Amino acid sequence: MIPRTLFSSDHDTFRESVRRFVQTELVPHHAQWEKDGIVPRDAWLKAGAAGLLCCQIAEEYGGPGADFLYNVVVIEELARAGITGPGFAVHSDMVATYIERFGSDAQKRRWLPGMVSGEVIGSIAITEPAAGSDVRGIQTRAHRDGDEYVINGQKTYISNGQSSDVIVLVCKTDPQRPREAISLILVETDRAGFSRGRNLEKLGLKAQDTSELFFDNVRVPVTNLVGEEHRGFDYLTRNLAHERLVQAVRSAAVAEVTIEQTVAYTSERKAFGQSISEFQNTQFKLAELKAAAVSGRVFTDRCIELQLQGKLDPVDAAAVKMQLSDLHNRVVDECLQLHGGWGYMWDYPVCRAYADARIVKIAGGSMEVMKQIIARDLFRQAKADAKRH
């Protein structure tokens, strides 16, 4: 294995702490949470007390002021343990980052300390029944009425939707510019006119609550606007590289641990008088997957380095998200096959990993959108090169 050089001894110490927390506080309860379709709030509070939430938030807003690598450690350790229920990544790497990067000082002081402690759970509401990857196609509206916005619309597939206390809502704020005038507005979930729909049943990520949200003349003060009015699409674009990298980080970890589990299983399981690991097909399949996982890990770690330097390009983020999503799905599919019938049983980690994997080709921008981003950049560069010559 190519050694990883990203982490300091402090990161390693934190990783040991996170791993202990995951094994003692999350793993024993996760199966029940999958049946319940939701993670209880006390798990969030314990995670906050253990320092797993919003690691990058500055000390003045109640956080530890750590670097992004601490978030990476949390993502990786949850992935290695097969913990998909707590929507910590949405909370820490999406909601908190929008407030931290684009919110006012008052918004940061109001929301971030509680998000660090786990007392406040955050969600971001983008997707609608008729608008997924096409963010400009959303229909939720917020019109200005004096010192308030009045919000009407519907969102769906919202992670942490059943649990959240505050929502970063993506909505339209100028009917004269229906595709361009997108804004981000913070909506408290105790506001009159706000309601949650059903907790959606999904193929995977069964312990993570995913909800429909409804806004019926919900009034919020204009001070809930994140950043500037009509700049929401720009803010989303600027944060997407970070979010897509987070997905790649998780996919790399799942691929690695699934290969490890399959090596262990095939070494013990026997067929036709020998262990499955002795068959050439098993050895070649796992060798191919291992080589692909190493390549994916190197690519992901390089993108993490660029993110730490503030240099991660949206095109590179799209590429790493696309490549690692493909790797993630390939690994769990082929490793399930090597488990045979047992791989189809929910008791085996590879079965749950298979069910959880499919969403990575959709969430955070579909694979088709990633290809569009990369292709557009390719032809833009080709045109620029042609002009120079």
For 118-157, the DSSP string reads TSS-EEEE--BTTBSS-GGG---EEEEETTEEEEEEEEEE
Q: How many CB atoms lie within 10 A of CB 285?
A: 18
CB distance 304 to 72 below 8 Å: yes
Catalytic entry in 34, 100, 229, 243: 243
Cβ partners under 8 Å of residue 128, min gap 6 = 137, 138, 139, 140, 153, 154, 155, 156
At 331, which amino acid appears?
V
In 3D, which of 218, 299, 225 has the Cα closest to residue 255?
A: 299
Please state, as a whole number, how many other Cβ atoms lie within 10 Å of the Cβ of residue 204.
17
Angle between helices 232-268 and 68-80 (to 10 degrees): 40
Residue 37 region, left (φ>0) first, then alpha (ψ -120 to 50), else beta? left
Q: For residue 168, report the phi and psi dihedrals to the nearest 5 degrees.
A: -85, 105
Q: What is d(CA 255, CA 18) in angstroms, rounded to the nearest whole number?
A: 20
Catalytic residue check, 243: yes
- Annotated catalytic residues are 243
